[in-house]
Every structure is written in structure tokens, then in C-alpha cells.
Amino acid sequence: MLKLALACVYAPTTATTSESLEFLNRIYESLPSLTGNASDEERQLHVEADRFERRLNAIEMLDRYGLHEPLAFFKVRLYFIPLI
């Protein structure tokens, strides 16, 4: 379920709206928690879920200033930052 949720939230879509932010928050809140006997793959997915939470907070801040970006903004932009 975690893998599917992360794939859905990072799908390139139109700009984030207040409704979609509420939906993204509900997805985050419904993610399963990490158990003590988790596999390496599950641990990595939870690292991605933590990253999703931080990015969701950043998208909410951008939204407060009138900048409406999809969550996929982070995946695309962070990989194309030129090194100077």
C-alpha cells in the first residue's frame, strides 16, 4: 500500500490546490507505520514517506504564498539543479 500511495502522490498533475493538499494530507495520515520486523525495502519506503511529509509541508508553505506547484515539482527540480 505504501508503494502505491507514494507513486500516486508523485504523479505529475496540475498545480496543487487547497482541495488536493487536503487529499495529500489524508493520504499521508493513512500510511502504515513502520514495524520492528520490516524488510529493507519497507524501511526504504518509510524513508520515502518521511521525505513525502517534508515535501508536503513545503508545498503547503508555497501555497500560502500563492505558489501552486504539484508534489512532483520536487522530484523533477531536484534532479536538474546544475552544479556550479
pLDDT, one tens digit per residue, over 17-27 is 777 888 889 99
pTM of the model: 0.77
Phi, psi of 10 (to 5 degrees): -95, 5
Would you say residue 4 has pLDDT above 60?
yes
**How does pLDDT run across 25-70, given as a tens digit for each residue?**
999 999 988 888 888 888 898 998 998 999 899 889 988 898 888 8
Q: Which amino acid is at 19?
A: E
* 17 φ, ψ (degrees, to nearest 5): -115, 175
